[in-house]
Structure 1
Amino acid sequence: MSFAQPAVSRRFALAALGGFSLMAACAPVPEVAAPEPVVGGVPLSQIVEGYGLIEDEGYRLPPVSPQYLQGVNRRVLMRYPGELRPGTIEIDPNAKFLYWIMPDGMAWRYSIGVGIEGVGLRGTTIIQRKAKWPGWTPTANMLRRDPALYGPFRGGVPGGLASPLGARALYLYRNGSDTYYRIHGTNDLESIGNSGSAGCIRLFNHDMIHLYDLVPNSTRVVIRTYADSVRIEGSAMANRGIELAPYLITPEQLFNGEEGGRADELASVSGRG
């Protein structure tokens, strides 16, 4: 025997189903977080102030990765700790600092990399030429010292993103003659705070642009001695940094925007010790 389902029960069931449907329709949909924007390989939230994307003279400089800006490796406006007069650049090749000294007792301090040419810089020189996005040609001494490294570039590298002198260069003279020493930008970010087998006094391109706009021609550039570095910066800071192996890159890699590598890393990869 069958019994008809009470109408009230059917109405209750339909009402209940309708309620569940309405609740489901009104429930909030979980939001899916949008991926963080990345600028030049650096997540937007990790870009360090002063080291972001730069559009300059028709070139685009990507942000500096924060891994290269740790500790003292970023520029800072600070009380000048030395004894030189305002309007002077003081370079400490041991602590890997460059100071631009200002009239109020303050100074901009930049972290630098010091190549083998920069290690030989002594005494006082004068900035007698400034250039934006300069080209580069290895000197005769470079070609004699390491023909394998510099020989492929004996014809020079035009100014631009590929140039080893980076975005800016300050040319140092003594007694009216070019010393062939330079303060310049670099694409070799790892070299900042360290010693290298090539180059003079190098800064992050971002720092070099900042310094370039502050410093006029005829500025004195004084090299701090090791003894003064220990006295002013302390022994640990006066010995900071490591010596890096040469960075090897072919002209084809350079002009195609490809990467080379350190000589010791390449030897390890290829099995050569």
Structure 2
Amino acid sequence: MQSNSAGSYYPDQVSKNRIAPFRYRRQRVDYETKQKPGTIIIDTRKHYLYYVLGEGRAIRYGVGVGRDGFGWKGTVSVGRKAEWPAWVPPPEMIARERKRGRILPARMEGGPRNPLGARALYLYQGGRDTIYRIHGTSEPWTIGLNVSSGCIRLLNRDVIDLYNRTKVGARVIVL
């Protein structure tokens, strides 16, 4: 794998034979926070997403996060949810990938090969779509790495679990 010094990759630079380390498997953990149950907290440096259960507990999921230049922090909310969502890459991504020699479709319907995977939580701020998502991935070998264009990616089985737990309007804190 080639990367810059920060460990940032394009997904096609990661070996498809890579298996994410055990620490990125979904598990219940001790997690002290003042946030209320149902809140999602994403620690991008450690590649973990926490779904707060309350009473000092959370469900921890391993995630892939934004590569260099695509990371972000802040508080947003889940504006909507979708099962097997269609993917519409933003014009900036289409142009960026074209320069790398990759032609992206203008739209890709949901399904196992779709980059958004099995489920998506659409992140909003001030009632407006941020263009960022918490979603599944058709590239499970990228979990635990800085690989996305700013979205938070989980294994499909994990995003289905998170999707079933999360309500529209849930608070999402990206550290």
Partner of 2:128: 177
The one of 84, 96, 100 equivalent to 2:47 is 96
Determine whether 1:136 maps to 2:87: yes
Q: Work out the CA distance in 2 between the residues paired with 1:115 and 1:190.
A: 15
Give the structure with higher Rg (CA).
Answer: 1
Partner of 1:108: 59
Task: Return the structure number with greater helix share.
Answer: 1
For 1:104, the aligned partner's letter is E
Aligned residues: 160
The one of 130, 144, 156 equivalent to 2:107 is 156
- Cα drift, residue 68 of structure 1: 2.5
In structure 1, stretches of 5+ residues that fail to align are 1-66, 225-273
> Quick one: percent identity of the two aligned structures?
42
Partner of 2:154: 203
In the superposition, the TM-score normalised over structure 1's length comes to: 0.54
Q: Check conservation: 2:20, 2:143, Cα contact below 8 A.
A: no
For 1:112, the aligned partner's letter is V
Q: Work out the CA distance in 1 between the residues paired with 2:100 and 2:150.
A: 12
Q: Describe the SS at the equivalent of 1:155.
A: coil
- Cα drift, residue 223 of structure 1: 1.0
- Cα drift, residue 80 of structure 1: 1.0
- Cα drift, residue 150 of structure 1: 8.4
CA RMSD in angstroms comes to 2.4
Q: Work out the CA distance in 2 between the residues paired with 1:118 and 1:166.
A: 23
Quick one: higher RCO (CA 8 Å, sep 6+), 1 or 2? 2
- Cα drift, residue 143 of structure 1: 2.2
Partner of 2:138: 187
Q: Work out the CA distance in 2 between the residues paired with 1:150 and 1:92.
A: 32
The one of 56, 72, 79 equivalent to 2:30 is 79
Q: Describe the SS at the equivalent of 1:147.
A: helix
The one of 129, 147, 156 equivalent to 2:98 is 147
Q: Describe the SS at the equivalent of 2:111.
A: coil
Q: Work out the CA distance in 1 between the residues paired with 2:74 and 2:98.
A: 29
- Cα drift, residue 209 of structure 1: 0.6
- Cα drift, residue 140 of structure 1: 1.7
Q: Work out the CA distance in 2 between the residues paired with 1:150 and 1:199.
A: 21
Going from structure 1 to structure 2, the CA distance change for 1:99 and 1:169 (only over 3 Å counts) comes to: same
Going from structure 1 to structure 2, the CA distance change for 1:197 and 1:216 (only over 3 Å counts) comes to: closer
For 2:59, the aligned partner's letter is W
